Structure 1
Amino acid sequence: MQNPTRAICAAALLLAVGATGLPNISSVAYISSARAQEEYLPTEKDFFGKWTLSGSAIRPPRDMTDAPTHEQEATATEFQQTVTAFYGAFDYLEITADGRYNFHQPGDPASGACVWCGTWSFSKSSLWLKLDTAPRLDIYAKDGDIQMTYTAEPDEKSKYAWLVFGWTKAE
C-alpha cells in the first residue's frame, strides 16, 4: 500500500513542478564550460613555484559600511605604494611543497638564505601565509595568477585590508 501512495505523491509533485517551474528551470540549469572554468577551485600544488609581483591595487575593505572618503582612499593609496615598493625589492616569491615560502632578494641563489620567509597552510581553496596580517593567496582560473589579500590587521588603524597584490608564475 505504501508504494502506490509514494508513486502518486511523486507524480503529483512532478506535475506541480513541471506546470509552474519548468520555464524557469531551463534558464538557470545550463552552465557553459567557460563559466565552469571561472569557478576553478585550486589545490595546494597550484601554488607551488616561483611568482613575481605583477601589480597592485587598493580596494575598500569588504566590511566597510560607508563609502570611503577621499582622505581614506588617498591614505590607502600611499600605503599601497609603500608596500608595493617593499615587495618589488624581492626577485620573486617561492612557495614550496614542504610548507614553506620565501621572498628572494635579487641575486640570491635559488637555495639562498631566508630573507623574509615562513610557513603556509592551505584551507578553503586558499593558501595562507603565516604572518601577522594573514595574507590569503587565491587563484581563480587554472594556471592563473595569484591574488593576495590580507585578512587580519596587525593594529587598529592598519591599512592592510585595502591592499590587493597580483603575482604571476615565473616558471
Structure 2
Amino acid sequence: MQNPTRAICAAALLFAAEAVGLSGVLSVAYISSARAQEEYLPTQKDFVGKWKLNGGAIRPPRDMKEAPTPEQEAAANEFQQTVTAFYGAFDYLEITADGRYNFHQPGDPNSGACVWCGTWSFSNSSAWLKLDTAPRLDIYAKDGDMQMTYTAEPTEKSKYAWLVFGWTKAE
C-alpha cells in the first residue's frame, strides 16, 4: 500500500510542477542568482579618489505625500541650476582615505588648499559628507558612477531634497 501512495504523491508533485511550469521554477532560481550578482554594496575605499561632476537632476522628495505642483518643480529646477553651477565651478571632488573631502578649484596645484572641504564618514554602504544638508553618496555598481542626494534640509523652505547629482571617477 505504501508504494501506490508514493507513486500518487510523486505523480501529484510532477503534475503540480508541470502546471506551474518547470521552466518557471528554474528561471526563478536563475533570476535570484543574477540579481545577487548585480547587487553591489560598496566599501569605504570605493569612494576614495577624484570625482568629476557629470550632471544633475531633480526628483520629488520620497516623503512627498502629493504630486508636486508646477510651481514646486519650477522652483526645484531653478535651484538645481544654481547648485549645478556651484559644483561646476570646481575641477573635481577629492575624497581621501583619511576621512576628508575637498572640492578643488580649477588649476589647483593639489597643494591640499581647502576651498570647500570637510570630513566624511561611511555607514550603510554610503559615504556621508559632514554638511548641514547631509549629502549622501552612493555607488550602485562596481567601478560605477557616484550619485549624491541630500538627506537633510537646512531650512524649512529648502529645495535640497529635490536634488540629485552624478559624479564620475576621474582617475
User: TM-score w.r.t. structure 1 length?
Assistant: 0.83
What residue number does 1:91 align with? 91
Matches within 5 A, 1:90-129: 90-129=90-129
1:59 and 2:59 aligned: yes
Tell me the distance in 1 between the aligned counterparts of 2:138 and 2:99: 16
User: Gapped runs of 5+ residues in structure 2?
Assistant: 1-11
Highest Rg: 1 or 2?
2
Tell me the distance in 2 between the aligned counterparts of 1:93 and 1:33: 35
- The count of residues paired between Structure 1 and Structure 2 equals 157
Matches within 5 A, 1:6-155: 26-31=26-31, 35-155=35-155
Identity of aligned residues (%): 85
Shift of 1:110: 1.2
Tell me the distance in 1 between the aligned counterparts of 2:79 and 2:37: 34
What's the C-alpha RMSD, in Å, of the aligned pairs? 2.3
Tell me the distance in 2 between the aligned counterparts of 1:98 and 1:106: 23
The one-letter code of the counterpart of 2:143 is: D
What residue number does 2:3 align with? none
Shift of 1:28: 3.0
Tell me the distance in 1 between the aligned counterparts of 2:137 and 2:94: 13
User: TM-score w.r.t. structure 2 length?
Assistant: 0.83
Contact map agreement 1:127 1:136 (CA 8 A) in 2 = yes
Contact map agreement 1:145 1:167 (CA 8 A) in 2 = yes
Shift of 1:27: 4.2
